[in-house]
Amino acid sequence: MKKFAGMIYTICLWVGILLVIGSLAYIGYTFARVHERKHAIEESREQFVKTAKVSVESHPVDETEPQEVQQPKEYENAIGYIEIAKLDIVLPIFEGTGSQELRDGVGVVEGTSIPTEQKNTVSVIAGHRGGYNGAQTFLHIDQLEKGDEIKVTTKEKELIYHVTGQEVIESTDWTKFTKEKDETKLILLSCHPYPKNTDRILIYSKLAEVRELQ
């Protein structure tokens, strides 16, 4: 009987060890995947800016220069990039909020403006809280506070927004995307609270500065 009990104990011990090893391997894989994705997005943003600067400056490409990193296929339709330093995220922006757009990055809600420096406009950018991109999406946007900076890089300019506040609304409420005279607004939209996702969280911001592409 003692021998049998010892065998059961040994089996349970090894099962426990294997579960721990498996869990650590999964965590390591997830971390590596998120890090690799972030690196790919940052590289694609750099290439996006270089291409945009050539277009803006109307200078021909010097064929003697070494070839730049090509845009990954999933980012080639990006219209810009959003960066939030406080949350350590960089994401491609696409037109529309279909499943593919929100899988690859974030999207501009239909009926709102593409990010621009023009006044009397409101741009709404939607993104998942979690899911495929893990921490590299809008997972922690509820931590943004008044005065925090959001940078949007377009093909023409860098647009710097300052957060003015946040609000939690019902998922069916589409009345908040209003324009203001002489203001250029950006609203971030995501599900809330995570992972329940019954409502929506809005992060309000206004254009504070326009910079040339760096």
Active site annotation includes 12 = no
Could you give the count of Cα atoms lying within 13 Å of 203 in the half-sphere of its Cβ? 25
CB burial of residue 104 (10 Å; 0-12, 13-18, 19+): buried
Residue 59 designated active-site: no
Which residues of 15-120 form beta strands (DSSP E)?
80-84, 89-95, 106-108
Instruction: Please identify which of the residues 128, 140, 162, 192 carries the catalytic annotation.
Output: 128
Cα 195 off chain centre by = 17
Instruction: Count the helices and strands in the chain (H runs, E runs).
Output: 2, 8
Amino acid type, 131: G
Residue 44 and residue 72 in contact, taking contact as beta carbons nearer than 8 Å? yes
DSSP 3-state assignment of 44?
helix
Known catalytic residues are 128, 191
